[in-house]
Amino acid sequence: MDLELAERQQQLQNAAIEFARSELNDDLIQRDRDEAFSLEGWKKCARFGALGLPVPAEYGGMGFGITDVIVVMEGLGYGTRDQGLLFSINAHLWTNSLPILVYGTEDQRRKYLPGLSNGELIGANGASEPDAGSDVFSMRTRAELHGDHYILNGTKTFVSNAPVANLFVIYATVDPRLGPMGITAFLVERDTPGLVVSRRMEKMGLRTSPMAELVLNDCTVPVANRLGREGRGVAVFESSMEWERGCILANYLGLMRRQLENCIQYVRSRKQFGKPIGKFQSVANRVVDMKVRLDASRPLVYRIGWLKERNQSAMLESALAKLYVSESLVASCLDALQIYGGYGYMVEQGIERELRDALGSTLYSGTSEIQRNVIAKCLGI
């Protein structure tokens, strides 16, 4: 596996960095404080092509393979400090657009993918429930078939993009006795009778990515909006997780690289006791640890792309990457905060926000504990 970017890929990443740096950082401190989603930033990302990266051109997208998507996502993570907006883009792509592309009918693809790619539609995903988080497939939301439509009843929580979304991928069971084999996915439009975007949820970090609960009360969904066959919901969900874990972590490769470069510059220029603080071993060691984590994280993420483009499973590799990169990100943010000292604790520096954003990475897309369970299972334990 070659970790050197091809010339075309380097050009893609440079373009993403320049775009994100110049277009996506405005008023971030205030938007974070207000929990404000940037619709203008979303539209800019759509014009840049970020909302349709894996979607074929015939459906309005860029048609990139997963490695090229990782390349671009790393660039976006390097160029912008608005990790909330990038998180919303990832939720939109990997839990909505990709399932439609892989499991949708041709009619579903042509109906939804162009709007999802050009920014007219914002996608969201309803899987977690108040009593089914890590044990997501013990969900209680029911889907009962009545002729040419299903009736959905239940509650979904931690739904990223819900306050602004137009289209939801909702998971429900057609028969609780079947366990995971009863889980089925549905495409539910926002104005569908019985779908209510309920309580908005305030978060510690990623505050520019809005989140809310969903209530399904006799929500009527046509059979034509079932995504895949009955009982295939687990396959729909797990296929999207391999992409999500790889691509959302790519943003954090960019963040960790930018953070490392900033810290190196800071320890060279900041002087205490008559010399640059980088000359103190306790400070230099933190910078070294940040470099080790970044260089160890990068091949883990790019290996997911390498495997998926060869039509191989990356379940183990995506779990390894999710576990290591998310926990490395938190550790590096803590090191950056300590390196900057009191200045790093200040809001205007941005490090405290990056730490708050980073903490969520050990929870979403499967907690660190769940990743360890997945890895153990893959190892036959």
Cite the active site residues: 244
Are 361 and 326 a contacting pair, CB within 8 Å?
Answer: yes
- Specify the pairing of strand 123-126 against strand 167-173: parallel
| Cα four-point dihedral sign 262, 263, 269, 270 | positive
What are the start-end ranges of the H helices in the chain?
7-23, 28-34, 39-48, 66-79, 83-92, 98-103, 106-118, 233-269, 281-308, 315-340, 351-359, 368-378
Are 321 and 249 a contacting pair, CB within 8 Å?
Answer: yes
Q: What is the DSSP string of 314-347?
A: -HHHHHHHHHHHHHHHHHHHHHHHHHHGGGTTSG
Are 172 and 142 a contacting pair, CB within 8 Å?
Answer: yes
> How far is the C-alpha of 39 from the C-alpha of 42, rounded, in Å?
5
Are 202 and 35 a contacting pair, CB within 8 Å?
Answer: yes
**Would you state the structure tokens that stand for residue 191, as one six-digit string?**
């104005």
> How far is the C-alpha of 337 from the C-alpha of 328, rounded, in Å?
14
> How far is the C-alpha of 66 from the C-alpha of 124, rounded, in Å?
20
